[in-house]
Structures are given as structure tokens and as C-alpha cells.
Amino acid sequence: MTQNVNEPFSEAEVRGLYRAIHERRDVRSQFRPDPIPAAVLARLLQAAHHAPSVGFMQPWDFLVIDSVSIRKDVLAIFDSENEKAANNYTGEQGANYRSLKLQGILESPLNICITCNRSRGGTHVLGRNSIVETDLFSTCLAVQNLWLAARAEGIGVGWVSILNQAQLSQTLRLPPEVYPLAYLCIGYVSEFLDQPELQAKGWRSRLPLEALVHGSTWGERLQDQSLHKALLEIEKTV
Amino acid sequence: MTQNVNEPFSEAEVRGLYRAIHERRDVRSQFRPDPIPAAVLARLLQAAHHAPSVGFMQPWDFLVIDSVSIRKDVLAIFDSENEKAANNYTGEQGANYRSLKLQGILESPLNICITCNRSRGGTHVLGRNSIVETDLFSTCLAVQNLWLAARAEGIGVGWVSILNQAQLSQTLRLPPEVYPLAYLCIGYVSEFLDQPELQAKGWRSRLPLEALVHGSTWGERLQDQSLHKALLEIEKTV
């Protein structure tokens, strides 16, 4: 992208990174049907592919799901799981839950499933001897790269997590060693909301950052009082 | 960050996002001891806190580990796990493995552990009924936000994955419901390498992107030939 990777980022470049982080949303309702041009989609997939991975394992694959028939099958899995989930809530919370739109499987022009091949790289993957789940964690990092790149391109992404993974694997014909880590709906949007939808709808609020930051061990106060002050200060800005 | 979240990103803003993605490295050897200013560290932690999370659960906490004593204890855990890992390799590969530097726990000015509180948000977290690991996945997205924000700020991050999580939890005095998802070394660097270190040292190469992209089901060819072409084309650019 640039000739010299050690060139400091310009002010606008830094701003672009932080904009993507702060203005990214989990989109369910604002998808427009316009197709994503191939060159743009290639940039998003390449961004995902350049995520960090344990031992440079690169355990991910990408299913670009345009088939409406496959998407209808996935929606049926969602509907069944979501009905079970709704039954966890009663009264006002139950009504609130049922009023939320939690997927855009058919409204978005494209779905992408990012998978994790748990056998890639053989028996001993460097750095994966102690924590075997690091392959799944690596694949998550690819998801976030794609999500942020999409945001910079003006494209929304929504992660559908209310799915039965065994049924999804069958629908997508995944081999047994391949885990469907993230099922994403993706497309241009009518607008990006100015705050997370679950917060806007009163489901749950953002936690105060400074309450989540500890010192060297759990519950220990920060040694550095200037960091504590900076955390309180920065909360006012977003 | 901007007044209107729906303002399209400028060319420089888009470039900043892609630079962070493509020029990010897993740093082990290039740390400088200079401290990270509080205001900068606050921006990185805020970036992590603005990651997506299942049901807006925000399951993460951040341990800002400046204690050298705690870091020495963590290094001892690493050394023990890494010795076990090295024994998985023999001959030339074993020598190559032992020559790799896989952590910068003491050379970096700061370590950060990003944890996942698996009980946060109560028994029923929206979107987490089908796949219970989505809290861990959410925490990974926070890791990547921090990693990319650090890169834009000229700060390197290295994820130490060769650790025993039970021993690490004990050292960091984590409550039983809190999982130490990512142990990170963080600091300014003498340089960012122009390619991943494991690739430069011949351990493993980047996989061709177009071989990882499928159609609507596993192994199915892309319907969209223009995407196939765009994937081949984009591989030449990075």
C-alpha cells in the first residue's frame, strides 16, 4: 500500500483507522440490495487474509454465499434457534427481544461464512501447543479485519450468531475438520446508526471503560494515575 | 471522532485503515523501552472496548501489567511451555524452532492481558444461546482493534500464545469465571518488518488467497468470474 512500512501514519490515516473502529456497527436492518463490486470484495477478503494467525497458520476459508436457496436454508436454522432463544425471556423483556431484528440474511446482497480449518498446518502448529483454540481466535481476528475494511468502504456487516453450527456445517457442506466460525451478512447500507442498536433500543448500555482496566493483577489499582485520568477523560469523547 | 458517521471516508482515511491491516506485525524482537504516554494507551484501550460483542456483552477486562515481578513469573510459564513445544520438532526444524524469538515479555515496556468474563451479562446473553464461545470470539475482536490502533500509533504488539492458562490465571489472580484470552507485549519499536517474521525466516508462507475463497458451499466454484479475476489481480499488490 505504501513504499515504506515505517513511514509514520498521517493524521488523516490515523483518523481513518479510529473512524472505522468507532463507527463500525453490527448491521441487521439497513442493508441495500446493491451488489458489492468484485474489486471491493477482493479488498475485503484480502484484509481478512492479512489477519495475524498462530504460527502463520492462516486457518480461514471464505464461502461467498450468493445462492438464495442456501441462504433460505440458513434462515430456517436461525428461525428455529431464535425461537428457542426467545423462550428464555418473559414479560416485557420477552416482547423487547421479539421486537429486535437479529439478522439480514436475505436482505443483504451477500453472505460470507468465515471458517476455521482446525487441521491446517499439520499436527504441530507453532504457538498452538498450549492453547488449542488459538486457531479459532486467529480466525476471529480475520473477521474483525474484514468488518473494519468493510466499514471504511461504506459497507455494513452483521454477524449472525444464533445458528446451530452442526446444521450450518451440513447446509454449507463443510468437511468435519472445518468449523463455521462466523456467518456474516454484508452489503451497502442506507445509513450507519450513530450508536449500537442494542444500546439505542435500551437492551444494554456501554460499560464505563475505566471500570474495566486493572493494574498488574486482577482488581489491583493502576499504578499510573495519569492513565486513570486519561481513561476518564477519553470517555467523554465518544 | 467526526460529526457525521455517514460521511464517506476520505481516500487518506481508507488508506490508513488498510495500512494498519497490511503493515501490522506480531512483534517479538524490535521493542524499544520508551513508555507509552497515558493518552495514547487510553486510545488503544478505548479502541478495544469499542469492538463488537455478542449481545453487547462487552466481556473484556484489561490488565495493564507494568510489574516486572509479575512479568518474570509469566516468562517462567512461557519458558516451561516453550520447552515442551520445542520437543515436538526434531533435526533442522527443531534447530529452526529454537532459534525463533517468540515473546518480548520483559523487553517491551508494558504487557496487557485481555480477559473474557464468561459470566458477564447474566445467564442469557442475547445471541449467545446457540454458541457459548461467542464471548471468547467477541474478546478476540477487541484484541484486533487494539492491535490495529497500536499499529496506526506506531506501536508494536506481540501475542504470546505459548502459556499455560491455569498458571497464568493464578499469577494474575483472576477469578474463576475470567479467562485470560490474550497476553500481549506492547511498545514502540525500532522498526516494523516488511513481512511476517515466520515468513521471512522460512517457517511458513502466505497461502494464495484465491485458493481460500469458495462459492455458496464448500469447494464450489465462484459463480462470479469477476471476483475470481479480482482475487488473482489483488494478490499481485501486497
Mean of pLDDT over chain A:
95
Choose among B2, B100, B127: nearest Cβ to A161: B127
Does residue A1 surpass a pLDDT of 50? no
Contact check, Cβ <8 Å, B141/A136: no
**Lowest-pLDDT choice from A65-69, A233-237, B140-144:** A233-237
Distance from CA of B161 to the nearest CA of A (A): 6
Kindly tell me if the per-residue pLDDT of B186 is higher than 90.
yes
Diameter of chain B by CA atoms?
Answer: 59
What is the percent of chain A where pLDDT is above 90? 92
Mean pLDDT calculated for residue range B53-60: 97
Strand order in the sheet with B110-117: A213-214, B60-65, B110-117, B178-188, B155-160
Using an 8 Å CB-CB cutoff, list chain A residues near B24.
Answer: 50, 52
- The percent of residues above 90 in pLDDT, for chain B, comes to 92
Biggest alpha carbon distance in chain A? 59
Nearest to B130 among A50, A127, A161 (CB): A161
Residue B198 Cα, gap to closest chain A Cα (Å):
7
Residue A159: all three cell numbers together: 454477524
pLDDT category, A236, cuts 50, 70, 90?
Answer: confident
Asked if residues B186 and B32 have their Cβ atoms less than 8 Å apart, the reply is no
Q: Does the pLDDT of residue B139 top 50, yes or no?
A: yes
C-alpha triplet B175, B181, B184: angle, nearest 5°: 115
User: Do the beta carbons of residue A55 and residue B205 sit within 8 Å?
Assistant: no
Q: State the complex-level ipTM.
A: 0.97
Predicted confidence band at B3 (pLDDT cuts at 50, 70, 90)? Answer: low
Q: What share of chain A is helix, strand, coil (3-state, %, to 5)?
A: 40, 15, 45
Q: Return the bridge partners of A180, or none.
A: A115
> Residue range B112-125: average pLDDT?
95
Residue pLDDT, tens place only, A117-157:
999 999 899 999 999 999 999 999 999 999 999 999 999 99
Q: Using CA coordinates, name the residue in chain B closest to A39.
A: B230
N-terminal to C-terminal alpha carbon distance within chain B: 29
Averaged confidence pLDDT in chain B: 95
Say whether residue A28 is in contact with chain B using an 8 A CB cutoff: no
Q: If we measure between CA atoms, which residue out of A107, A84, A78 comes closest to residue A165?
A: A78
| A24-53: average pLDDT | 97
Chain segment B172-185, per-residue pLDDT in tens:
999 999 999 999 99
Residues paired with B159 in a beta bridge? B184
Closest chain B residue to A86, measured at CA = B126
Q: Is the pLDDT of residue B1 over 50?
A: no
**Which residues in chain B have their CB less than 8 angstroms from residue A23's CB?**
1-2, 5
Residues of B in contact with A143 (CB under 8 A): 137, 141
- A22/B50 CB distance under 8 A: yes
Distances (CA, A) of B77 to B64, B83, B107: 18, 10, 16
B74 — contact with chain A (CB < 8 Å)?
no
**Has residue A168 got a pLDDT over 50?**
yes
Give chain B's domains with CATH numbers: 21-194 (3.40.109.10), 207-238 (no CATH)
Cell 492458562 found at: B165
Cell of A110: 451477500
pLDDT of residue B237: 81
Q: Do A224 and B13 make contact, defined as CB atoms within 8 angstroms?
A: no
| Secondary structure class of A188 (helix, strand, coil) | strand
Strands, DSSP E only, in chain A? 60-65, 110-117, 155-160, 178-188, 213-214
Spell out a b/e string for A53-75, using b for 16 or more CB atoms within 10 Å of the CB, else e: bbbbbbbbbbbbbbbeebbebbb
The rounded distance, in Å, linking the Cα atoms of A45 and B171 is 39
- Among residues A232, A214, A229, the alpha carbon closest in space to that of B63 is found at A214
